[in-house]
Structure 1
Amino acid sequence: MRTEAIEAWTQLYAAVGLLAVICASCAALKTIVELRGGTVAFPHATWTQKFLWFPRLWLRFQLAYMSGFPCIMGIALLYAHYIGFAAFNPS
Protein backbone atom coordinates (compact mmCIF):
# COMPACT_ATOMS: atom_id res chain seq x y z
CA MET A 1 0.00 0.00 0.00
CA ARG A 2 1.31 3.41 -0.88
CA THR A 3 2.27 5.85 1.85
CA GLU A 4 -0.10 8.43 0.39
CA ALA A 5 -3.05 6.01 0.66
CA ILE A 6 -2.21 5.08 4.25
CA GLU A 7 -1.99 8.74 5.19
CA ALA A 8 -5.30 9.53 3.45
CA TRP A 9 -7.12 6.67 5.20
CA THR A 10 -5.62 7.62 8.57
CA GLN A 11 -6.73 11.22 8.16
CA LEU A 12 -10.22 10.13 7.13
CA TYR A 13 -10.59 7.77 10.10
CA ALA A 14 -9.35 10.45 12.49
CA ALA A 15 -11.82 12.97 11.08
CA VAL A 16 -14.76 10.56 11.29
CA GLY A 17 -13.75 9.60 14.85
CA LEU A 18 -13.69 13.25 15.86
CA LEU A 19 -17.11 13.79 14.28
CA ALA A 20 -18.50 10.76 16.12
CA VAL A 21 -17.25 12.14 19.45
CA ILE A 22 -18.83 15.51 18.70
CA CYS A 23 -22.11 13.84 17.72
CA ALA A 24 -22.13 11.68 20.86
CA SER A 25 -21.50 14.74 23.03
CA CYS A 26 -24.36 16.61 21.40
CA ALA A 27 -26.68 13.61 21.78
CA ALA A 28 -25.77 13.25 25.46
CA LEU A 29 -26.33 16.97 26.03
CA LYS A 30 -29.72 16.77 24.27
CA THR A 31 -30.74 13.79 26.41
CA ILE A 32 -29.68 15.54 29.62
CA VAL A 33 -31.53 18.73 28.68
CA GLU A 34 -34.67 16.74 27.88
CA LEU A 35 -34.49 14.94 31.22
CA ARG A 36 -33.87 18.08 33.25
CA GLY A 37 -36.48 20.09 31.37
CA GLY A 38 -39.17 17.50 31.89
CA THR A 39 -39.75 16.95 28.19
CA VAL A 40 -39.13 13.26 28.74
CA ALA A 41 -40.66 11.76 31.85
CA PHE A 42 -40.28 8.03 32.11
CA PRO A 43 -42.82 6.41 34.43
CA HIS A 44 -41.18 4.48 37.24
CA ALA A 45 -44.01 3.47 39.53
CA THR A 46 -43.66 -0.30 39.19
CA TRP A 47 -40.60 -2.53 39.31
CA THR A 48 -40.87 -3.31 35.59
CA GLN A 49 -40.99 0.37 34.69
CA LYS A 50 -37.93 1.03 36.86
CA PHE A 51 -36.14 -1.87 35.19
CA LEU A 52 -36.92 -0.54 31.70
CA TRP A 53 -36.03 3.08 32.48
CA PHE A 54 -32.36 2.82 31.51
CA PRO A 55 -32.95 0.96 28.20
CA ARG A 56 -35.52 3.58 27.23
CA LEU A 57 -33.09 6.35 28.09
CA TRP A 58 -30.37 4.56 26.10
CA LEU A 59 -32.72 4.23 23.12
CA ARG A 60 -33.50 7.94 23.30
CA PHE A 61 -29.76 8.72 23.31
CA GLN A 62 -29.16 6.36 20.37
CA LEU A 63 -31.94 7.97 18.33
CA ALA A 64 -30.46 11.40 19.00
CA TYR A 65 -27.00 10.09 18.01
CA MET A 66 -28.26 8.47 14.82
CA SER A 67 -29.98 11.66 13.75
CA GLY A 68 -26.48 13.12 13.35
CA PHE A 69 -25.33 10.32 11.00
CA PRO A 70 -26.27 12.08 7.74
CA CYS A 71 -24.21 15.07 8.81
CA ILE A 72 -21.21 12.88 9.68
CA MET A 73 -21.49 11.04 6.36
CA GLY A 74 -21.78 14.27 4.39
CA ILE A 75 -18.76 15.85 6.08
CA ALA A 76 -16.73 12.65 5.60
CA LEU A 77 -17.57 12.56 1.89
CA LEU A 78 -16.69 16.23 1.48
CA TYR A 79 -13.41 15.65 3.32
CA ALA A 80 -12.62 12.64 1.11
CA HIS A 81 -13.39 14.77 -1.94
CA TYR A 82 -11.07 17.48 -0.59
CA ILE A 83 -8.22 14.98 -0.13
CA GLY A 84 -8.99 13.42 -3.50
CA PHE A 85 -10.65 10.06 -4.03
CA ALA A 86 -7.64 8.86 -6.02
CA ALA A 87 -5.50 9.11 -2.87
CA PHE A 88 -7.54 6.29 -1.27
CA ASN A 89 -6.61 3.78 -3.99
CA PRO A 90 -4.26 1.26 -2.31
CA SER A 91 -2.48 0.18 -5.49
Structure 2
Amino acid sequence: TITKQLEPIAKEIHSRREEEYFVENDIDRLRIKINEIQRTVEQLNRKDTTKSIIVDNDQIDWNRIIYIREEQQQVSEYTQLQI
Protein backbone atom coordinates (compact mmCIF):
# COMPACT_ATOMS: atom_id res chain seq x y z
CA THR A 1 0.00 0.00 0.00
CA ILE A 2 0.96 3.63 -0.33
CA THR A 3 1.28 4.07 3.43
CA LYS A 4 3.72 1.17 3.67
CA GLN A 5 5.80 2.68 0.88
CA LEU A 6 5.90 6.07 2.60
CA GLU A 7 6.81 4.79 6.08
CA PRO A 8 10.48 3.91 5.39
CA ILE A 9 10.97 7.18 3.53
CA ALA A 10 9.51 9.16 6.43
CA LYS A 11 11.66 7.26 8.95
CA GLU A 12 14.80 7.91 6.94
CA ILE A 13 14.00 11.60 6.61
CA HIS A 14 13.33 11.88 10.35
CA SER A 15 16.55 10.12 11.31
CA ARG A 16 18.68 12.13 8.89
CA ARG A 17 17.04 15.32 10.08
CA GLU A 18 17.85 14.49 13.71
CA GLU A 19 21.45 13.74 12.76
CA GLU A 20 21.50 16.83 10.52
CA TYR A 21 23.16 14.70 7.90
CA PHE A 22 21.78 14.92 4.38
CA VAL A 23 23.89 14.16 1.34
CA GLU A 24 22.67 15.43 -2.02
CA ASN A 25 22.49 11.86 -3.34
CA ASP A 26 20.15 10.96 -0.47
CA ILE A 27 17.87 13.87 -1.28
CA ASP A 28 17.76 12.93 -4.97
CA ARG A 29 17.09 9.27 -4.16
CA LEU A 30 14.27 10.15 -1.74
CA ARG A 31 12.78 12.60 -4.23
CA ILE A 32 12.73 9.87 -6.91
CA LYS A 33 10.98 7.43 -4.54
CA ILE A 34 8.39 10.04 -3.56
CA ASN A 35 7.76 10.91 -7.23
CA GLU A 36 7.23 7.21 -8.03
CA ILE A 37 4.68 6.93 -5.24
CA GLN A 38 2.97 10.09 -6.45
CA ARG A 39 2.67 8.64 -9.97
CA THR A 40 1.15 5.47 -8.50
CA VAL A 41 -1.44 7.53 -6.61
CA GLU A 42 -2.28 9.52 -9.74
CA GLN A 43 -2.73 6.32 -11.76
CA LEU A 44 -5.05 4.89 -9.12
CA ASN A 45 -7.13 8.07 -9.21
CA ARG A 46 -7.42 7.93 -13.00
CA LYS A 47 -8.40 4.28 -13.04
CA ASP A 48 -11.16 3.56 -15.51
CA THR A 49 -14.41 2.87 -13.70
CA THR A 50 -16.54 1.40 -16.44
CA LYS A 51 -20.04 0.38 -15.48
CA SER A 52 -22.10 -2.07 -17.49
CA ILE A 53 -25.82 -2.61 -17.74
CA ILE A 54 -26.86 -6.11 -18.72
CA VAL A 55 -30.35 -6.70 -20.10
CA ASP A 56 -31.64 -10.23 -19.50
CA ASN A 57 -34.44 -10.10 -22.05
CA ASP A 58 -35.03 -8.71 -25.52
CA GLN A 59 -37.87 -6.43 -24.49
CA ILE A 60 -36.12 -3.09 -24.56
CA ASP A 61 -38.24 0.05 -24.70
CA TRP A 62 -36.25 2.11 -27.21
CA ASN A 63 -38.61 5.04 -26.68
CA ARG A 64 -36.77 5.69 -23.44
CA ILE A 65 -33.58 7.60 -23.63
CA ILE A 66 -30.60 6.02 -21.97
CA TYR A 67 -27.92 8.34 -20.67
CA ILE A 68 -24.44 7.13 -19.93
CA ARG A 69 -22.49 9.41 -17.68
CA GLU A 70 -18.79 9.18 -17.02
CA GLU A 71 -17.93 9.69 -13.40
CA GLN A 72 -14.76 11.55 -12.68
CA GLN A 73 -13.01 11.17 -9.42
CA GLN A 74 -11.46 14.35 -8.21
CA VAL A 75 -8.81 14.17 -5.60
CA SER A 76 -9.98 16.45 -2.84
CA GLU A 77 -7.52 15.17 -0.33
CA TYR A 78 -3.82 14.96 -0.84
CA THR A 79 -1.63 12.37 0.75
CA GLN A 80 0.82 14.31 2.81
CA LEU A 81 4.09 13.06 4.10
CA GLN A 82 4.66 14.89 7.34
CA ILE A 83 8.29 15.49 7.90
Q: In proportion to residue count, which structure has more helix?
A: 1
Computing the radius of gyration over CA atoms, which structure comes out larger, 1 or 2?
Answer: 2
Task: Output the TM-score relative to the length of structure 2.
Answer: 0.38
Give the structure, 1 or 2, with the largest relative contact order (CA under 8 Å, sep 6 or more): 1
Task: Output the TM-score relative to the length of structure 1.
Answer: 0.35
